[in-house]
Amino acid sequence: MRRQRGATITELMVASTVGMLVMLMATGLLMSANAAYVAQVEAAKVDDGGRYALEVITRAARQAAFVNWERDAANLDQGTAPARIGGLDAHSLNRATDGIDAPLADAVNGSDVLAVRFAGAGDGSVISCAGFAVGEKDDGWSIFYVGRGASGEAELRCKYRGKASWGADAIIGGVDTFQVLYGLDTDSPADGVANEYVSAGVVEERDAALVLTSADPAARERELRRRTHWKRVASIRVALVVHGAKRGQANEKLQKFDLFGSEYSNAFGSADRGVHLAEADLPDDLRPRERRMFASTILLRNAAVEARR
């Protein structure tokens, strides 16, 4: 019989070492592939959330200044009606207060407030940002602002007027900042095209500088409603930065976001908080997140009609 021989201890050690190296390489590749997959899923969630937020804001903004001419109130002088677009710089809101009254100073990274007002319709085709139909005899509101949820996470909210009271619902979470600029049509007569984009604070400053010549307070209020710069808003620019829910690997180079471009940030960033966002200024737990910026310019379809009145 032939003499049978097994593997030597050296051969066993070499085979074990090679096997462990192969397993380590396979584990590394698996972990890398899994990390890439998780990053892609997180990026997709952020993209979906940002696009959805812009879609909701765009749909609401295009209803601004909508007048239901079949209503009795539509026959009144639209020049003295309240402006259908409004906003606030670097503020938040309370869910229960009327409209944008009593704003809160605790704004997440200088986030703004955008308020849209519009007439309702009897066929249910006009809805608020929360998806509720606005009746023919009512005026609807879609107000967007950033607030903090119960966990402290910043979220973009939609505030609306219900049948009995005001309410607000979250649209998306993980919002770092929400910014709005208003395109003013300064031509006379108005042509419906924005000549410049300014913040809500600038619009308010220009209204405050108007010289009202009416004799009594009620007449001055009507005069202000006719001449307010809010009725010259022909379009708006909205921008927001959104981060993912899961912590990722910290970037070697921290990102910076200029929501309306570096030229605007350099010229007006000190007065218009939030238009420049640097990851280095965020809390440590928010830095290693998937983060995207979303922006859009929205033409207000009915602005030119109201501006000419």
The series of mean pLDDT values per 10 residues for the chain, 309 residues long, is 66 81 80 63 84 94 73 57 90 92 91 91 81 81 93 93 88 96 90 92 95 88 90 94 77 86 94 93 88 93 49
| Cα 269 to Cα 278: distance, rounded to the nearest angstrom | 12
Q: Which two tokens stand for residue 174?
A: 């993980």
pLDDT at 27: 78
pLDDT at 308: 42
Buried/exposed 86-115: b ≥16 CB within 10 Å, e otherwise: bbbbbbbbbeeeebbeebeeebbbbbbbbb
Assigned domain for 288 exists: yes
Full residue range of the structural domain in which residue 204 is found: 38-308
- Please enumerate, as own/partner, the contacts of 160-164 that have beta carbons within 8 Å and a separation of 24 or more: 160/128, 160/129, 160/130, 160/132, 161/99, 161/128, 162/132
Least Cα distance to 155 among 49, 72, 73, 236 occurs for 49
pLDDT at 6: 65
pLDDT at 309: 41
Assigned domain for 153 exists: yes
Domain count, the chain: 1
pLDDT at 143: 96
pLDDT at 133: 83
pLDDT at 48: 92
| Cα 72 to Cα 68: distance, rounded to the nearest angstrom | 9
Assigned domain for 9 exists: no
pLDDT at 29: 75
Least Cα distance to 88 among 196, 225, 230 occurs for 230
Assigned domain for 4 exists: no
Assigned domain for 200 exists: yes
* Distances from the Cα of 187 to the Cα of 181, 184, 276, angstroms: 18, 9, 30
Rounded to two decimals, what is the model's pTM? Answer: 0.83
